[in-house]
Structure 1
């Protein structure tokens, strides 16, 4: 009976955690260059370089300010750099708004973009999850 309960516990834990682990939003990322202040969320506060600006798709009327996202490059959006991804992810904090006309779902700082992709790509496909 003990073994059955252990197996049941593991199965239930996997089912509960599966949606959290498997769910990722898809979009695109671009990057912007310094200076990073002032920002729409924090004025002249220096938030470091692992930051991003949210497009209207995730801005949520300033509700995105302070949210942290894990961002991973999933591929190229054009033929310029066919394999831009470095294979890792980066966690960024939303500190700014990328106004209408923004070319990505998330506009990463130059440093955050370079951590996950070749900057020569300019724009990449991404998966992102709130952390």
Structure 2
């Protein structure tokens, strides 16, 4: 009986984590400072810029997100690595940004082939 409850609990947690993810678009950038959140202070390389959808007048600054590639948005087949990356929001994606989360090159490279340039993603607050 105890083993059944444990298995059931793991399944529920897994399903909740899938349902909690938000779909979006991921791209990458390579110039990290200055940033809208931290000016000229470097914040490492596992960082990202938030689109207007997430920006919320800068309230998203410093928030962490788990980001996973879910598929291609262009002809590059199978860009995803199957990994998830955790990034800190440090910047605001410029006007006309094509993505929901604009990842650093290093973060993007962890979850997808950079040749793809743009991918479908799922993201959750860390």
TM-score interval, normalised by the smaller of the two chains = 0.7 to 0.9
Unaligned stretches of 5+ residues in structure 1:
none
Q: Is the alpha carbon distance of 1:84 and 1:63 closer, same or farther for their aligned partners in structure 2, counting shifts above 3 Å?
A: same
Corresponding residue number in structure 1 for 2:28: 31
Matched, 1:42 2:28: no
Matches within 5 A, 1:84-123: 84-123=79-118
Q: Is the alpha carbon distance of 1:45 and 1:86 closer, same or farther for their aligned partners in structure 2, counting shifts above 3 Å?
A: same
Corresponding residue number in structure 1 for 2:65: 69
Q: Is the alpha carbon distance of 1:127 and 1:43 closer, same or farther for their aligned partners in structure 2, counting shifts above 3 Å?
A: same
4+ residue segments displaced more than 3 Å = 9-20
Q: Is the alpha carbon distance of 1:19 and 1:84 closer, same or farther for their aligned partners in structure 2, counting shifts above 3 Å?
A: closer
Cα RMSD for the two superposed structures: 2.1
Which has the larger Rg?
1
Matched, 1:55 2:51: yes
Q: CA deviation digits over 1:9-36, x for unaligned, max 9?
A: 86996798467423100000000013x1
Q: Is the alpha carbon distance of 1:78 and 1:38 closer, same or farther for their aligned partners in structure 2, counting shifts above 3 Å?
A: same
Q: Is the alpha carbon distance of 1:43 and 1:21 closer, same or farther for their aligned partners in structure 2, counting shifts above 3 Å?
A: same
Matched residue SS, 1:99:
coil
Unaligned stretches of 5+ residues in structure 2:
none
1:63 Cα deviation from its structure 2 partner: 0.7
Matched residue SS, 1:126:
strand
Corresponding residue pairs, total: 125
1:99 Cα deviation from its structure 2 partner: 2.0
